[in-house]
Amino acid sequence: MFCLWSSPDDLEKIYRDPVAIWRNWATDVSGFGIESGHHVAEENPEALAAANREFLSR
């Protein structure tokens, strides 16, 4: 499982560690915040694509 989110968004302020939350449903979870606005795919597609390539190459 791989989760990404906008780091300036309030997700981490509300939930602290989004990866830890997903570990309630999956055992192998990784992820991190990407410097972007709320719409990561539109606002920082290069960073999103790089993160996905890294994850899929494992």
Q: What is the pLDDT of residue 39?
A: 95
Q: What secondary structure does DSSP assign to the chain, as a single string?
A: -EEEEETTSSHHHHHS-HHHHHTTT-SS-EEEEESS-S-HHHH-HHHHHHHHHHHHT-
Render pLDDT for 1-58 as a digit per residue (tens, 0 to 9).
999 999 999 999 999 999 999 999 998 999 999 999 999 999 999 999 999 999 999 8
Enumerate the domain spans of the chain.
2-56
Instruction: State how far the Cα of 25 lies from the Cα of 9, in Å rounded to an integer.
Output: 23
pTM listed for this prediction:
0.84
Q: What is the pLDDT of residue 6?
A: 95
